[in-house]
Chain A
Amino acid sequence: MPDPIFRMRDVSKVYHVGDLEVVALRDVSLELYAGEFVVLLGPSGSGKSTLLNLLGGLDTPTKGQVDYLDHDLSEGGDEKLTAFRREHVGFVFQFYNLIPSLTAAENVALVTDIADRPLDPREALALVGLAERADHFPAQLSGGEQQRVAIARAVAKRPDVLLCDEPTGALDVETGRLVLEVLERVNRELGTITAVITHNASIAAMGDRVIRMSSGHIVDIAANAKRLPASELVW
C-alpha cells in the first residue's frame, strides 16, 4: 500500500447552532491515496459535506487530526488554510458558483492568475469540452455547461485534490452524466485525487472506493473491483 496523501484520525466535528450542539462527525478515520476516485455516499445530514470541508481546509476539526502530506490541517490559521486551498485544492460546487460578471475563460483565469504552474484557461476549457464557449458569460450557458466551466476552473491550477459537492445535484441525467465523464477524464489524465459527494447511489459504481456515511459515522468503505465508466451509469 502506498503512503496516503490525506490522513484523518479520530476526527470529530461539533457545530453550535444557537443553543444546540450538533455533532456532524464522530471519531472518523480515513485515508486517501494518490490518484484515486472516491465517492462519498449518504443521506442529508450524514456528515459527508463536513468531511469534505475538513479535507478542503475550509474548516478545522473539533477533535482529532487531519493531515495532507506534511501539512497539518487540523489547526491552521486562516492564512495557512487559504494558502493550502490556493495551492492544492480544486472545488466544484452544486450550484457552480461562477462569477456572473466574468466569461467562462475569465472565470478560469481568476484561479490560474493566483496559481503557480496552471494550465492555460483555454486548455482547461478544452479539457471539459467547452473550448468553443470560452467567451460566453454564465448567463449564456446551460447548467451543464456552467458546471463544466466550474470543473475547468477547479482543475486549471493542477490541484492535488478535486473536491466535488453534489456536482450533478442540479442537473438532469444526461447533463449529469456528461459532467461525471469530465471528472473521470480529469482524474485519469491529470491523476488528481477526486472526491465526489452525492446521495445518488448510482454514481458509486464509477469510484475506486465508495465511502458510506450515516449520522456522522463512516459505516462502510468498499472498493469497487472494476470502475464503471461514467457513460454507462444509469439512474
Chain B
Amino acid sequence: MRIGALDRKILRDAWHIRAQIIACALVVAGGINSFVSLSSLNRSLAASQASFYEEYRFADVFAGAVRAPEHVAQRLAEIPGVAVLETRVVARVNLDVPGLDEPARGRIVSISRDPTGGLNALYIRRGRMPAAASQDEVLVAEAFAIANRLEPGDSIRAVVNGRYKSLRIVGVAISPEYIYALGPGQLVPDNRRYGILWMDRKGLATAYDMEGAFNDVTAKVSPGATVEPVLGEMDRILGAYGGVGAYDREDQLSHRFLSDEIAQNRTMSRITPTIFLAVGAFLLYTILTRLVQMQRSQVGLLKAFGYSGGEISLHYLKLALVISLLGAAMGVATGIPFANAMLDLYAEFYFFPMYASDQVWPVAAAGVSLAVAAAALGAVPAALRAARLAPAESMHPEPPPRFHAGVFERWGIRHALRPAGRMLVRNLARRPLRFVANVAGIAIAVALLVMMTAMMDGVRYLMEWQFTVVQHEDVQVLLTEPRSREALDSLRAMRGVVEVEPFRFASGRFHAGHRMKRGLVFGIEDSPTLRRVVAADGHAPAIPPDGVLLTGIFASALQVRAGDTIEVEVMEGKRPRVPMLVVGVVEEPIGFSAYVSRATANRLMGEGDVLTGAYLRVDANERAKVFADLKAMPQVAGANLREAAYAQFREMIDRSVGIMITVNLVFAWIIAFGLVYNGARIALSERGYELATLRVLGFTQRESAALLLGEQGVITGVGLPAGLALGIALTLYFVWMLSTDMWRMPFVVTGLNLVGAMAAVGFAAAASGAAVAWRLRRLDLVGALKARE
C-alpha cells in the first residue's frame, strides 16, 4: 500500500509528539477500559439474569404459610391475574458439614412435580434429579457444594424435623430463586454455613408431616396483570393457614440483591467512562489546536498547493483517529481480562448456570465507536480551525498574542506579584476555559479517589459497627420455631455457655397511613448487652416497655418519627394488628427492624415467655463442645458465628479493596498525568521561545522551569482542594445512590482519605511536571536568537 505524502506527514507529526499522544491515548484507554469492563460485566449479569429467569420460569409472587391443605391451591390459582401457581413444602434444616464445628443451616425446598420443571425450575449442574418419593436423596446448591467440596455421591448429615438423617447428594443444582443465597441473619453470603437443598416433594412432605398439604406457594402472574391485588388476595386466603405474608420479586432476597447490584453497576458503567472520555476529548482538543497553530504556515503552503480545507481537516482528524484507536485498543485489551476477572469474582456470590459471555464483543465494538466519537468531539474544532485558515495570512508568522491587564490586576494583585507571577496569571486568564477544564480534570482525579476510599471506609465502618458495637455475642442461635422458656433454660444449662440473651423475632408488616413496609419485629431484653441497639452517636437507648424503636432507614421509609403511631401487623400466628407508639428512632445503618421489649413481643402475640432464638457468650475453651452440643439439639435451627461472619466479611472487603484501590489509583494517575504532562508540554511548545529568551537573559534552569510549571502548579493547586469538595459531593451522591432498603451507606470521609487522595494526585502531577521540566535542558538557547519561523 502506498502511503500518501500527507499521511506520511501526519505519521511523523504523531511520532514527534508521541509522548503527548500516549498520555492522551492512556486517558481514552481508561475510559474504554472502564466502559468495556463495567458494561460487559453489567450486560452479562443482566443477560444471565434475564435468560435464567425466562428459561427457568422464575416466579413473580411468593408466599408462605404454616400448613395449608392442598385443596386451597385451587382457590389460590383462581385469583384473577395468577397464570401459574405451584405449592411447595419448604423446611429449615440443620446440617452437619464435615470439618465445621458449628452447625450449618439449610433450607430444603420441594422439587416441582411438573414434568417441564415448573416454576423456579432447577438447572442440574452435575448428577441427576432425586428419585420420585425418595426420602434421602437431595440436590445441593452449587454455592454450598463448592464451599464445602460436596459432590454427587457424598452424604451429608442433617437434622430433619428433629431427627438425624443422612442425606445422599445425587446432584448439584442452581435455581433462579437462589442466585444469591443469604441465610437468615446474615449480612454477607456464607456459603459454607448456609445452603439450599432440594428434595422430592413426597419425600419431604413425609419427613415434615406435610402430606396433602403445603407451606409455601409461588406463582407467575399473567402478562399485564398487576401484582398488588394478587398479593392481597393471597394473604386473605392464606391468613387462615398461618400465612406469613405474600411478597413479590421486589422483596425476594436473591432478586433484590442481584437487581440492586445490576442497577448500581449500570450507573458506574456510565459515569466512569464519561469522565475519562471527556478528559480525553479535552486533551485531544488542546493537542490538535496546538499542532494546527504550530503548523499554520504548513497549512498555508498546502492550501497554496491546492489542497482543500476539507482535505486538510481530514488530515488532522486522522491523527485523532489514530489516538482514539490506540486508546480503544489499549482499553479493550485491558478491559476484557478485567471484565473476566470481575465476572470470576461475581461468580463466587451470584450463581448462574452460565454467565452470558457473548456480551464482550458487542461492548468492545461499542467502546471503539465511543472512543472515536469522543475523539471527534475534541478534534473537529481544531480541524475546522485548520480548514478556515486563509492561505496567504497563514504563511506569515502568527502575530503576538494580545494580552491585557485582567480582573486580577484590577484587584490590585498586580503590585503583589513579580513579573514572573504576572506572566503566570495573565497566561491563565487569557484562556479561562482551558484553565477551568484543567482544574476540573485534576479535581475529578482527586474526587474519584476520595469517593472510592470513602465508599470502602463506609462499608468497613458499617461492618465494624455491626460486629463490634452492635453485636457482642459469640453465637446467635436460631430455634426451629417459637419455644417456651425451657429452651432458654436448656441453653443456659449448656456447659461453656457464659451468658444467654433470648430474643423473639417475627416478620411483620408495618403500616403508616397508606404506606406499608415489611420488616422485623425484634423483641429483645430490656437492657441487652450481647446484641445492643445503638444509635449512630454511640448512645444506646433503653428498650421501651411499651412502644417501638425504629431504625432510621425504616422510619424514613414509613415517613414517621418519634411520637407517631404506626400499625404493627405480625405475620405469624393469629396475625395480630395493633397500633404502637414510635418512641424513638435509632440511626442503625442496617435493616428494617422494629425493636420492642421481648415481653411486649410476647404480649403482642398473645403468648407466654416465648423466644425464637438467643445470643450466647461462650467460654473460649469450650467452644467446640458448645457447637457440637448445638448441632445435636433438634430445636436449634442454626447458629450464626459473629467472628466467622466478621472474618468472612473482612476477607471479602480486603480482596475487593485491593482491586478497587489499585484500579482507581491507576485511573486517577492516568488522568492527572494526562492533564499535567500534556498541559506542560503544550506550555513548553507555546512558550519555548519565551523560556529560551529568559535563559539567554540569565534565568537559571530552575527559574525557567518554575515559570513553565507555575501554571500547572496553580492548576493542580486549585484542582486538589476543588477535588476534595467534588469528592465529598460525589461521595454523598453515591451514599444516596447505593443505600438500599437493607443498607444505609454511612458517609465516612476521613482526613487520611482526603490527604491521601490529594497526595496521590499531587504526586502524579509533580512527576509529570518533572518529566517535562527535564526537557528544558534541551532547550535551544541559540535558536532563541535566531529568526522566528
Contact = CB atoms under 8 A, between A and B. Distances in A.
Contact of B700 (A82, A98, A100, A113): A82
A33 interface: no
Interface stretch (A88-96, A188-196, A210-218, A220-228): A88-96
A139 B784 contact: no
Contacts of A86: 697-700
Interface string B686-702: 00011001111111110
B73 to A, nearest CB: 85
A106 B422 contact: yes
A139 B403 contact: yes
A97 B783 CA distance: 11
Contacts of A103: 405
Nearest to B781: A58
A85 B697 contact: yes
Contact of A153 (B697, B700, B784): B697
A95 B700 CA distance: 22
Interface in A61-114: 78-79, 82-83, 85-87, 89, 91, 93-95, 97-103, 106-107, 109-111, 113-114
Contacts of B165: none
Contact of A93 (B423, B703, B784): B784
B293 to A, nearest CB: 14
Contact of B422 (A85, A97, A102): A102
B399 interface: yes
A83 B699 CA distance: 8
B427 interface: yes
A95 B399 CA distance: 12
A101 B690 CA distance: 10
Nearest to B423: A101
Given A93-B784, A93-B785, A78 B696 contact: no
Nearest to A169: B787
Interface footprint category on B: 20 to 34
Interface in B747-787: 781-782, 784-787
A100 B400 contact: yes
A97 B785 CA distance: 8
A97 B698 contact: no
A144 interface: no
A195 to B, nearest CB: 13
B430 interface: yes
Contacts of B697: 85-86, 91, 110-111, 153
Contacts of B410: none
B788 interface: yes
Interface string B416-428: 0011101100110
Contacts of A107: 419
B404 interface: yes
A137 B402 CA distance: 8
Contact of B782 (A58, A83, A106): A58
A97 B784 contact: yes
Contacts of A207: none
Contact of A85 (B430, B689, B696): B696
A103 B788 CA distance: 21
A101 to B, nearest CB: 4
Interface in B341-385: none
Given A49-B782, A103-B405, 16 more contacts: A59-B781, A59-B782, A85-B696, A85-B697, A85-B698, A91-B697, A91-B785, A97-B689, A97-B690, A99-B693, A102-B403, A110-B419, A114-B699, A114-B703, A137-B403, A153-B697
10 contacts: A59-B781, A78-B701, A86-B699, A94-B785, A97-B690, A101-B401, A102-B403, A102-B423, A110-B694, A111-B698
User: 7 tightest A-B contacts by CB?
Assistant: A86-B698, A97-B693, A101-B426, A85-B698, A106-B419, A100-B400, A139-B402
